[in-house]
Amino acid sequence: MGVLTALVEIGDAAFWAALLAKMLASAAIVVLASLAVERTGPLVGAMIATLPVSAGPAYIFLALDHDAAFLRASAVASLPAIAATALFIAAYAALARRHGVALSLGGGLAVWIVAALAPTRIGGGLAGAGLLTILVIVACMRVCRRWRGGGPVLARRKRGSDTLIRAGIVMALVVAVVLAGRLAGPGAAGILAFAPVVMVSLAVILHPRLGGAATATVLVLSLPGLLGFVAALFALALTVERIGPAWALPLALLITLVWNGGILLASRRRPAPTPETDR
């Protein structure tokens, strides 16, 4: 019955309008991030990619359909998904330097699915889930540190259809994730809100164009941005029942913007990292 109800609701005009908005927003950010990588460097692209483009609209849609308590529970449930995304990045980066996009993404997504679906009853509620997520992200940053320098950017000649192809890839992935979330029910909302749609889209677009090593660098450089997600979810969980979604959601967005902007400013004040020898 639950699946049948979800299938009926999928035909609702409001659902399709919300889905279209999310598709366009996600496509715009991924196209912008991929262009930034090619024109300004991987760090700028990574910081754009870790803005809440996919999760932000998802939480807005949740706020329209559910109360503040549901949003708080979803924020706590999203934390393991962020840890899973960090593990996805680490797995993809390890594979992409020597393998093609299909094998690299397949391995990374397998790691994400296992990590996201693993039991999350670690105790401590928001604090426990947040601490575990931070530890996982920091561990992945340490493991992937040698790949921050990446390899040479081997861009192919651009075609007029490149932007449309990029946008189409992203929108197809967004549709798949949103429909899966609709059928999975509200219990999976928090996890699916932070499914690595943008990261997967960037890999699909950039890996064939720039090479696996350069694409791995972009994703590895996005790991510090995930800590901004953790801070934003903490703020959302702590404030949404007190000040309401209309104020708590913009506050969470502001935190991610300030965090990523701080990373960019800090990067300009220190020398660029020297690639370490891959052993």
Domain-located, residue 187: yes
Domain that holds residue 6: 2-268
**pLDDT at residue 152, as a whole number:** 46
Work out the angle between the directed axes of helices 125-143 and 223-243 (0-180°, nearest 10). 170
Domain-located, residue 82: yes
pLDDT digits over 174-216, tens only? 676 566 556 655 445 556 666 777 788 778 877 887 778 888 8
Domain-located, residue 60: yes
Domain-located, residue 276: no
Domain-located, residue 277: no
How many domains is the chain built from? Answer: 1
Closest CA to 219 of 10, 50, 83: 50
**pLDDT at residue 277, as a whole number:** 43
Domain-located, residue 70: yes
Domain-located, residue 163: yes
Domain-located, residue 173: yes
pLDDT digits over 133-161, tens only? 999 999 999 998 877 765 444 444 555 55
